[in-house]
Amino acid sequence: MATDTLEQLPKQYPRTFVPADLIVRGFEDVRALYDQLLDAELDSAEALEAWMLQRSELEAVIQEVTSRIYIRSTVDTTNLDYKQAFLDWVEEVEPKIKPISHKLNLKFRDCPARAQLDKSVYGIYERSVLTSLELFSEKNVPLETALSKLTNKYEEIQGGIAIEFEGEQRTPQQMSKFQLEPDRAVREAAWRATSERRLEEASKLDELFDKQLRLREQVAANAGLENFRDFQFKSFLRFDYTPADCDKFAAAVESVALPAVERVLARRRSEMRLDSLRPWDTSVDPQGRSALKPFEDVEELKAGCSRIFHKVDGELGAQFDNMRDLGLLDLDNRRGKAPGGYQSTLDEVRLPFIFMNAVGIDGDLRTLLHEGGHAFHAYASASQPLIQYRSAPMEFCEVASMSMELLGLPHMDEFYSGEELARARREFLEGVIEYFPWYAIIDQFQHWVYTNAGCTVQQREDKWLELNERYSAGVDWSGLEKYRRNGWQRIGHIFFAPFYFIEYAIAQIGALQVWLNSKKNGPTALEQYRHALSLGGSATLPELFKAAGGKFGMGADTIKPLMDALENELASL
């Protein structure tokens, strides 16, 4: 993408506090504005509300600069200027802003007019600010800077991985295409080549994670908490569930989801006429057909997904087209680009940006539908006056994205027809079922890591293997243990967003309820979904689930009907 595109976006929300011509390059550019907020007289509820809006505007400007710097650092990890800009920001700017943000939170807490605020409007905002005050420690500012730099290092390591295969250097994303090849020998060779190459980076990643682990443990201690899990639960504002609920979810996966996964894999093994499935047998078409190739290039991907979004809802389609026209999509895979995919909101202009690594496979459609759901969330909540309310709880952010994958499912005829259409739907629904144990493995692994201070590399690998053996079934890993033991290193969230994974599980539960609601109630269900998105972060997690037509829950009583519905849908294809 042309990164100067980010500088030419329309500004639909004029500044009223930050000078219109101010360009933020460093802390000195905003120091006077922060001083103005710190010195403001807040002698009434009206003055306090106006002050909150001014602070929100300044924070949106700052957050947008942060997002732009991050985006540039991921679209080209080889660009030294982008890398330096990222480092300068996290080393020189963010450490100066965090203590001032803390002072602003104290000013809000201590303001007598706070008692006059309408709790139905500002209660969630107030709860979040008070939690931030509980967690803040001046000692953690340099530690958080160090953690940001280590995150950048992780992306640099992953972005630099290239695998020599069939005479060419390929990225891991490009290698994934070979797992869809009908020739089993090719799949195995590609799997082993990728796994061997990843193993070469294992010691670097172990060393990096050890540094992160020590820093995170210290962050928790500085905040007066027993462990980093407790810190992160508060930091993520998880007010509506506990670690015990996460254990309840894992137990439900074992009792309800794992049997469904076993049935899916048993059917695959039978169709492939194999005595046992190996890791390179789980993605290929079980009937030996060539991999689905829904598009040739990213322009075709954009056009097809645009048509899908228009079929789901005309306004959503128009929003996606707007992103395309503004250059807010960077979708192709290339060397030097960070791995994975994400949606980042540019908070001042209130527009979303989508980043991914498309290589022409069916999974790319899911990724763009998924990130599109996040983007529609940004559009829907853009009218919320406070920046804090333009972002929902993370669990519900993923409901927005995962629901869009399911809502787009009836319209996959934009890419497929006939037998391929049924096959694409089957593969997707089977994937939803198969991923539930993965949620449990990754979440339970992190619970263990962060409540066992000082755990060694060997202990981590042993725990990862133990969890895989407990929550996985139907795949033979014999002789491949050395690769499996390091499997956690492929999960970027463990490095750059610790404990951010159970959100996907909770969200999938919500998304499946949105999907079932849409099958039953059609347009009404979509209205509920879009209304829930528009609430942003102004409602609690259970309230958002209810608004979207679902019910918040993590136990077997909630998950079992969803597994049954998925298996019934598969039986109908």
pLDDT of residue 6: 77
Q: Nearest 5°: CA angle at 526, between 523 and 530?
A: 140
User: Which run of H or of E encompasses 168?
Assistant: strand 168-170
d(CA 433, CA 435): 6
3-class secondary-structure state, position 340 = coil
d(CA 258, CA 269): 16
- For the entire predicted model, the pTM comes to 0.91
Contacts of 395 (CB under 8 A, 6+ apart): 502, 503, 506, 507, 510, 541
- Is the backbone of residue 334 left (phi > 0), alpha (psi -120 to 50) or beta? beta
Contact 439, 411 (CB under 8 A): no
d(CA 308, CA 415): 9
Q: How far is CA 91 from the centre of its chain?
A: 25
Q: Which residue spans within 304-377 are E strands per DSSP?
A: 329-332, 342-346, 351-358
pLDDT per residue as tens, the chain (573 positions): 545 677 789 889 999 999 999 999 999 999 999 999 999 999 999 999 999 999 999 999 999 999 999 999 999 988 999 989 998 998 899 999 999 999 999 999 999 999 999 999 999 999 999 999 999 999 999 999 999 999 989 988 988 899 999 999 999 989 998 999 999 999 999 999 999 999 999 999 999 999 999 999 999 999 999 999 999 999 999 999 999 999 999 999 999 999 999 999 999 999 999 999 999 999 999 999 988 899 999 999 999 999 999 999 999 999 999 999 999 999 999 988 988 899 999 999 999 999 999 999 899 999 999 999 999 999 999 999 999 999 999 999 999 999 999 999 999 999 999 999 999 999 999 999 999 999 999 999 999 999 998 899 999 999 999 999 999 889 999 999 999 999 999 999 999 999 999 999 999 999 999 999 999 999 999 999 999 999 999 999 999 999 999 999 999 999 999 999 999 999 998
pLDDT of residue 573: 87
Start-to-end Cα distance in the chain: 39
Contact 431, 443 (CB under 8 A): no
Contacts of 99 (CB under 8 A, 6+ apart): 138, 141
Strands 351-358 and 329-332, sheet pairing? parallel
d(CA 14, CA 25): 20
pLDDT of residue 1: 54
The domain spans of the chain are 3-136
